[in-house]
Homo-oligomer: A and B are copies of this chain.
Amino acid sequence: MFFLVFTSLFVAGCDENQPTNQVQRFGSVTGLKPDKLEYYKELHANSWPSVLKTIWKCNIQNYSIYLQQIGDDYYLFSYFEYTGDDFEADMERMANDPDTLRWWEETDSCQLPLEEDGIWTTIEEVFQTD
């Protein structure tokens, strides 16, 4: 349930026949189990092509994940851009893709969410410039 936490950010009122042509940027954070560091990196260095294809088909682009130790803990910070016009529907579509579900089984077991509701926590944007 990788993206489930983001669904609350759906922009109500979008008409799927009327693309907004506007990029929505998302920063998010989650924890990473110290004993899963290498496995998580190895997984992402060899991302499954079908999962990448689904990300692209669901209008997610320019997607990066960064890893940082802070104190004794490890955190993943991600940034991506959503270019579609119905985020909720696209995330549902992603969550119904069998390969993506299998991928999330691998990644979910590595992560230590900051909150109970979803794996990734969406972060407040305080600055943005093109």
Contacts and interface: CB of A to CB of B under 8 A. Distances in A.
Interface in A71-112: 75-77, 79
B114 A67 contact: no
A80 B28 CA distance: 15
Interface in A38-69: 40-41, 44-45, 47, 52, 55-56, 61-68
B130 A61 contact: yes
Contact of A129 (B45, B52, B124, B130): B52
Interface in A1-50: 25, 27, 29, 40-41, 44-45, 47
A125 B25 contact: no
A114 B70 contact: yes
Interface of A: 25, 27, 29, 40-41, 44-45, 47, 52, 55-56, 61-68, 70, 75-77, 79, 114, 121, 123-130
